[in-house]
Amino acid sequence: QAVKQSHFPAVAMAAEERESKAEGVDTTSDGARRRKPLKADIGHVTEKNIGQLKKLNTATFPVVYKEQFYQDLLKALDYSRLGYYADILVSSICCRLEDRPAGGKALYIMTLSVLKPYQRRGMASQLVRWAIKRAEGKEGQADDVREMYLHVQTSNQSAIEFYRVFGFEITDEIKNYYKKIEPPDCYVLRKPMNGAELAEGGTSQSVVPDDIADEA
């Protein structure tokens, strides 16, 4: 069953998790039951499993990603990974390097997805941590990664709070970023990397990418 999301294209299921520090089932302040976190097995995206990623995105996003999205993804896989549990693909993160107006590179989180039965189990958090660790490691330093960023719909407070846990902050607002959803505006959330500072002027991307089709 597809999961309705309103903060595409940057993330799907990005805000489904507030990881519980307690083990086992717990309750939140509103009485909702938390489930025990699961450990994700992180694997590579390849030509052989790209079809599985397509199915995951179809089940998770309210939009259809065009074939060009996946073709471009296969050309640069350094910052994209799949998350498995019990040998089942349940989550993914796809990021790409972009030129940064202030110099260096920005790592843009294009998609972050988790299947509904595995939400609130720590899957998205593990993938975000993986991306941050890689961007801050020797690979990211070699690529001159100076920040990470993504877009979140202005009404999606839970996604904003999720990313703030990892050090992202709202730096810009883009009017009419989304098509066919309300509100159509988004925030740009950015996180400085490798000792860099967030320069004024934002990032290079200000429109919805052409590799996303209309709402499904």
Q: Please give the torsion angle defined by the CA atoms of residues 20, 96, 198 and 187, in that order, rounded to the nearest 10 degrees.
A: -60
Q: Are 192 and 42 in contact (CB under 8 A)?
A: no
CB atoms within 10 A of CB 102: 16
Backbone angles phi, psi at 48, to 5 degrees: -75, -30
| Distance, CA of 190 to CA of 167 (rounded, Å) | 8
Q: Are 17 and 34 in contact (CB under 8 A)?
A: no
| Distance, CA of 101 to CA of 121 (rounded, Å) | 37
* Whether residue 209 has a cis bond before it, omega within 30° of 0: no
Q: Are 97 and 143 in contact (CB under 8 A)?
A: yes
CB atoms within 10 A of CB 38: 16
Q: What is the set of active-site residues? A: 108, 151
**Would you put residue 122 in left (φ > 0), alpha (ψ -120 to 50) or beta?**
left
The partner residues of 81 in beta bridges, in order of sequence, read: 44, 93
State how beta strands 145-153 and 105-114 pair.
parallel
